[in-house]
Amino acid sequence: MGILSGSGNKGRKLILIVYLLVSIVILLFSAFFITQAIQAYTLYQYERGFSLLFTGVIGLALSLYMLSVYMRRPGLIRHKEVRRMVAVVECVSCSYRDRRDYVSGDYVMKESGGCPVCGGKTLVTEIYPEVVGRG
């Protein structure tokens, strides 16, 4: 369930480190290609310069994109708060009200099965993140 539950998985951490290293290496290569391109242009080697610049810019865009994806990973920068999504389910006929884990595809006012008290319809009425622990 918990994609955000920051239980330290060694394999996953290794993948993240490799991912980060790969994007940094691509970034360095791109910078190298761009400096080579500038050098080629100063030597009037326009064709060589263009292909170097092209490769450099593509690599730069790719590595920056990879880094931005890395930065946006949950639980990596903010280790302190572990949140999980909670959905509140209410019955339309009686006063039954319950909280359960958010399930992918939940939205407010979605029908959520039968009421365990009266058998009536229940609706998702709230969806919010709940802090479950600090680490």
Q: Give the footprint of Zn ion on this chain (CB under 5 A).
A: 91, 93-94, 96, 115, 117-118, 120
Q: Which is nearer to Zn ion, 21 or 92 (CB)?
A: 92
Using CA atoms, how far residue 123 sits from 23, 105, 110, 119, 126, in Å, is 44, 13, 5, 13, 9
Shortest Å distance, C-beta 123 to Zn ion: 11
In the complex, least distance from residue 122 CB atom to Zn ion, rounded to whole angstroms: 7
Q: Least separation, in Å, of the C-beta of 119 and Zn ion? A: 7
**Between 2 and 120, CB nearer to Zn ion:** 120
Comparing CA positions, the residue from 83, 81, 78, 29 lying closest to residue 57 is 29
Distance CA 99, CA 4 (A): 18
Least distance to Zn ion, CB of residue 88, Å: 14
- Taking the least distance from each CB to Zn ion, the nearer of 84 and 121 is 121
Residue type, 75: G
**Residue among 24 and 88 whose Cβ is closer to Zn ion:** 88
Write the DSSP string, 64-96.
HHHHHHHHT-TTTS--SEEEEEEEEEEESSSS-
Joined tokens for residue 37: 């391109």
